[in-house]
Chains A and B, each alone.
Chain A
Amino acid sequence: MTPADRLSTTFAALSDPTRRAILARLALGETSVSELAKPFDVSLPAISKHLKVLERAGLITRGRDAQMRPCKIEVKALQEADGWLEEYRRLWEQRLDRLDDYLQTLKAEAKKATPKETKGERKK
């Protein structure tokens, strides 16, 4: 899978409130499927289906123990999603910082060019 495809899978897996709640629970520590299912008003098979989606997206792994198969959160996929968001956050923050600097330069230039008109901006 390319990184972009992986992100699609990650965000698709995250686009469900039950799956996000499962991840929130797993962030506290690994646990069994039946334990995970407890707070939800859905059947065990439904929970298993959600877990499969999360597992395919690399957001969780399942233990080998046939009886328990405890679930564990995997942070790497979440980090990739966060990194993707961070890029945009940083891009616009830096961009608007540069705009800020540039506006100050423009203002200083305008002041130099027409020193007397700076106060006459408001006319009715």
Chain B
Amino acid sequence: MSVKNSIDLDTDPRSIIGTRVFEAPRELVFAAFTDPKHLAAWWGPDGFSLTTHSFDFRPGGIWRFVMHGPDGRDYQNRVTYDEIVPPERLVYSHGGGDDVEPVQFTQTLTFAALDNGRTRPPGTACSRRPKRARA
């Protein structure tokens, strides 16, 4: 039986590497990660809704969004795109600002095409790293 989900903690001790198989073409999965209209439909977390304030999809560009919690609290978020290679690779950093949630991590998504229009991962390699100095 094929595994839909897996987590690898050994390859790189500073990263959490997750793998997920989707029954969808790679271009579609990539689009779901790179279009704010799509992102609002699934980003969550469960019970949350999402409003995008700005979306500048290019290397160095920033996605500013608010996650509206079920308790009525708003969570300010900022994602900076580090690397964009459609439809196979996406690297972004989360955090970096006093006005956003204090959650700092870098995430590398690798989109690999499998047979029959399936997509593996987004291999989600998410490594926390020390806060970078801000000017």
Q: Is B100 an interface residue (CB 8 A)?
A: no
Cα distance A92–B19 in the bound complex, in angstroms: 11
Chain B contacts for A99, CB-based, 8 A = 22, 29, 32, 42
Interface residues on B, range: 20 to 34
| Main SS class of interface, B | mixed
Most chain B CB within 10 A, of A89, A92, A95, A104, is at A92
Size bracket of the A interface: 10 to 19
The residues of A that contact B117 with a CB separation of less than 8 Å are 121
> How far apart sit A93 and B46, CA to CA, in the bound complex (Å)?
11
Q: Is B41's CB under 8 angstroms from A102's CB?
A: yes
Residues on B with C-beta less than 8 A from A100 are: 22-23
A27 contacts chain B at the CB level, 8 A cutoff: no
Bound-state CA distance A102–B42 (Å) is: 7
Chain A residues, Cβ within 8 Å of B5: 93, 96
A107 contacts partner chain B, Cβ-Cβ < 8 Å: yes
Residues 18-63 of A at the B interface (beta carbon under 8 Å): none
**In the assembled complex, B85 has its CB within 8 A of some CB on chain A:** no
**Which residue on chain B has the smallest CB distance to residue A90?**
B45
- Choice from A91, A93, A101 contacting B42 with Cβ under 8 Å: A101
CB-based contact B24/A103 at 8 Å: yes
Complex formed: what's the CA distance from A121 to B5 in Å? 26
| A94/B45 contact (C-beta < 8 A), A100-B22, A103-B24, A121-B117 known | yes
14 contacts between A and B (CB under 8 A): A92-B126, A94-B46, A96-B122, A102-B32, A102-B38, A102-B42, A103-B22, A103-B28, A104-B23, A104-B24, A106-B32, A106-B38, A107-B24, A121-B117
Residues of A near any B CB (own CB < 8 A): 88-89, 91-96, 98-104, 106-107, 121
